[in-house]
Amino acid sequence: MPRTADPVKRAELLRAVVAYLETRGISDMSLAPMAEALGTSKRMLLYYFGDRGELLAQAFEASRPNVGEMFDGVTTEDEFVAAARSLWRAITRGRQRRTVGLMLQVLSLATTDPDTYQPYASNAVTVMLEPITEALVGLGREPEDARVRATLVVSGLRGLCQDGLVTRDRSRVDAAAELVIAAAVG
């Protein structure tokens, strides 16, 4: 009879995997060096996560902000703006700020290695786009218009994150984020 995976050990290992990917990147990720750096074995990574693809998928899921939670219950434009500002703070100053670089790598790699990274990149966009679209529909926007405006928020803020990582010009990038957020409801 096979052993049941220890959920506490799995959660600890997943946090360590995310931290490893944040500092080392994903473009040439290999399970053996990762396992060694984490003080475990490739066999244990496979035991807990199945394969490299599933490990990446779970690491990406664990490292992104819960946009659905942020935009849940939005009923006014002011609440929408507050939720979008919370998202901006989370990805630039909060717990997820370190994982933005990881997300940007996945999106970039999806253009050069779509067979490997496209599913993860598409999911990274969709999980943010859907709750924002729903919030805008709840504010009375037509679904197609809401999706376009949600795309402005998701792609605009993501692009500004990249700008901020490159230039470190926080005040200019923060001001641009305010414009993106205002345009989404304006």
Does residue 184 contact residue 153 with C-beta atoms inside 8 Å?
yes
Minimal CA–CA distance to 121: which of 138, 101, 99, 103?
103
The range of the structural domain enclosing residue 178 comes to: 65-185
Q: pLDDT at position 53, please?
A: 79
Q: pLDDT at position 4, please?
A: 67
Q: Is 154 within a domain?
A: yes
- Give every residue of the chain whose pLDDT is below 50, as ranges: 1
Among 20, 40, 61, which residue terminates a domain? 61
Q: Is 2 within a domain?
A: no
Q: pLDDT at position 26, please?
A: 80
**What does the DSSP 8-state code read for residue 64?**
S
Q: Is 1 within a domain?
A: no
DSSP string covering 136-170, please?
A: HHHTT--HHHHHHHHHHHHHHHHHHHHHHHHH--H
Predicted TM-score of the model (pTM): 0.80
Residue 69 sits in the same domain as residue 56: no
Q: pLDDT at position 94, please?
A: 65
Q: pLDDT at position 178, please?
A: 98
Q: pLDDT at position 168, please?
A: 92
Residue 13 sits in the same domain as residue 100: no
Q: pLDDT at position 96, please?
A: 64
**What does the DSSP 8-state code read for residue 95?**
G
Residue 48 sits in the same domain as residue 74: no
